[in-house]
Amino acid sequence: MATRVRPGSKRCAVIGGSGFLGRHLVEKLLDRGYSVSLFDIRQSYELPGVTFHQGDLCDKQALLSALKDVSLVFHCASPAPSSDDRLLFERVNIQGTQTVIQACLDAGVQKLVLTSSASVVFEGTDVKNGKEDLPYAKKPIDYYTQTKIEQEKLVLEACNKPKGFLTVAIRPHGIFGPRDPQLVPTLVDAARRGKMKFIIGDGTNLVDFTYVENVVHGHILAAEHLRADSPICGKPYHITNDEPIRFWDFMSEILVGLGYAAPRFHLPYTLVYGLALLLWLLTWILHPFMSFKPTFTPMRVALAGTYHYYSCERAKEHLGYKPVVSLKEGIARTVASYPHLRRGA
Ligand SMILES: NC(=O)C1=CN([C@@H]2O[C@H](COP(=O)(O)OP(=O)(O)OC[C@H]3O[C@@H](n4cnc5c(N)ncnc54)[C@H](OP(=O)(O)O)[C@@H]3O)[C@@H](O)[C@H]2O)C=CC1
Ligand SMILES: CC(C)=CCC[C@@H](C)[C@H]1CC[C@H]2C3=C(CC[C@]12C)[C@@]1(C)CCC(=O)C[C@@H]1CC3
């Protein structure tokens, strides 16, 4: 039987703490007086107040040493969506999350905050002001999303007040900010290869992009509101910037900020989606002989050509959430943080 860690203890663990979101979360937790046990498959930095544990989250023994004396766990580890590796997603996001839950129960952890994704309800067609009561996608757009759905269900169903184990899921969308290895680098790489001249569709589709510090703020609010008498136990919460923007305006602001031209010419959505599907099929057929990663995957085209923005009213009401950094400021800070990706650098 696990010994319960003293409630209110300011020692927490961040699984996936070496990653983009994880590191921003760790830094904010330290600012707020927490000490952090960081668990990740790789180490990317060192900080006073952080104890690093290297391991795979599918390994319960390795997790248990990181969860010693910890009352609160943030789980924000996942393979990158671009890996498109079904077996890896299933192993880490599904079986690995079961292992995380079991390790938390064995170690006497009281609160588990999962980083889920608003994409768990996205099927490649428009979502406008989507609320948390939308059903999970029946046809998720990729393996990443499919396993994020299973992962969220596992964590929310594990919430057990009599056992003193409380869980909550944060669903961010389109996280961006300094040190993001995905959005800005992919965009700049495409621009440098002359692939960012075109707007997919009519360019009016609104989307959420969420500055990383707002996502961190949502996670910490959720952790601090997670008590047996609170309505948030076992529930998911959208966390966004609450400022939907046209997908192509956002991309253009980043590109122009870094010295590249904004996309100008329009291409029909269905044509580009069809071509992306064909290319995906070709790479799948040819993958035993050659490895090739297309920039315009069906998932990216669907995200670039449809509406997908979400209501964060529930987070405002239950968590007192309000974005702490505006979209304009978030874009300016992000652009300033990538001097090495500027045109000509
Ligand atoms: N970025 C976004 O726009 C969004 C992200 N999310 C979610 O937010 C979370 C964080 O994403 P983000 O910071 O962008 O991702 P990152 O890839 O930057 O961070 C994830 C971290 O988890 C590590 N990791 C992967 N597999 C394992 C494993 N088996 N055991 C231990 N650690 C592992 C990664 O290591 P390595 O790099 O070596 O794989 C990495 O350090 C994820 O759960 C993601 O699904 C949700 C919505 C939007
Ligand atoms: C069309 C094109 C080449 C755009 C370049 C930017 C893209 C790499 C990003 C635009 C929207 C982003 C996004 C994610 C990853 C990066 C983008 C596709 C996620 C899939 C990351 C993980 C999630 O949970 C959902 C995100 C939605 C938005």
pLDDT digits (tens, 9 = 90+) for 55-82: 999 999 999 999 999 999 999 999 999 8
Q: Which one of 144, 211, 307, 310 is the catalytic residue? A: 144
Give me ligand 2 centre to Cα 224, in Å.
29
Res 289: pLDDT: 85
Which ligand sits nearest to residue 53's alpha carbon?
A: 1
**What does pTM read for this prediction?**
0.96
Average of per-residue pLDDT values in the chain: 95
At 330-339, the pLDDT tens digits run 999 999 999 9
Residue type present at position 299: M
Res 291: pLDDT: 78
Shortest-distance Cα residue to atom 29 of ligand 1: 56
Which ligand sits nearest to residue 25's alpha carbon?
A: 1
Task: Tell me how far CA of residue 60 lies from CA of 63, 133, 343, in angstroms.
Answer: 5, 33, 46
Res 287: pLDDT: 83
Whether ipTM tops 0.95, in short, is yes
Question: Which residue ranges form the domains of the chain, and what is each CATH number?
Answer: 11-177+209-240+310-324 (3.40.50.720)
> What average pLDDT does range 261-266 have in this prediction?
96
Where does the pLDDT of residue 1 fall: very low under 50, low under 70, confident under 90, or very high at 90 and above? very low
Where does the pLDDT of residue 295 fall: very low under 50, low under 70, confident under 90, or very high at 90 and above? confident
Q: Which of 144, 303, 306 is the pocket-test mutation for ligand 2 (most atoms within 8 Å of CB)?
A: 303
Annotated active-site residue 144? The verdict is yes
Res 293: pLDDT: 81
> What average pLDDT does range 14-31 have in this prediction?
98
Q: Does residue 263's CB lie within 6 angstroms of at least one atom of ligand 2?
A: no
Q: How is residue 335 written in tokens?
A: 């652009």
Contact criterion met (CB below 8 Å) for 120 and 149: yes
Q: Which of 21, 151, 210 is the pocket-test mutation for ligand 1 (most atoms within 8 Å of CB)?
A: 21
Res 217: pLDDT: 98
Give me ligand 2 centre to Cα 174, in Å.
6
Res 66: pLDDT: 98
Q: What is the 3-state secondary structure (H, E, C) of the chain?
A: CCCCCCCCCCEEEEECCCCHHHHHHHHHHHHCCCEEEEEECCCCCCCCCEEEEECCCCCHHHHHHHCCCCCEEEECCCCCHHHCCHHHHHHHHHHHHHHHHHHHHHHCCCEEEEECCHHHHCCCCCEEEECCCCCCCCCCCCHHHHHHHHHHHHHHHCCECCCCEEEEEEEECCEECCCCCCHHHHHHHHHHCCCCCEEECCCCCEECCEEHHHHHHHHHHHHHHCCCCCCCCCCEEEECCCCCEEHHHHHHHHHHHCCCCCCCEEECHHHHHHHHHHHHHHHHHHCCCCCCCCCCCHHHHHHHHCCEEECCHHHHHHHCCCCCCCHHHHHHHHHHCCHHHCCCC
At 136-191, the pLDDT tens digits run 999 998 999 999 999 999 999 999 999 999 999 999 999 999 999 999 999 999 99
Which numbered atom of ligand 1 lies nearest the CA of 75? 43
Where does the pLDDT of residue 7 fall: very low under 50, low under 70, confident under 90, or very high at 90 and above? low
Residues with CB under 6 A from ligand 1: 16, 18-22, 40-42, 56-58, 76-80, 92, 96, 115, 117, 148, 172-175, 181-182
pLDDT over 70 at 6, yes or no? no
pLDDT over 70 at 254, yes or no? yes
Q: What percent of the chain stands above pLDDT 70?
A: 97
Q: Which of 24, 38, 76 is the pocket-test mutation for ligand 1 (most atoms within 8 Å of CB)?
A: 76
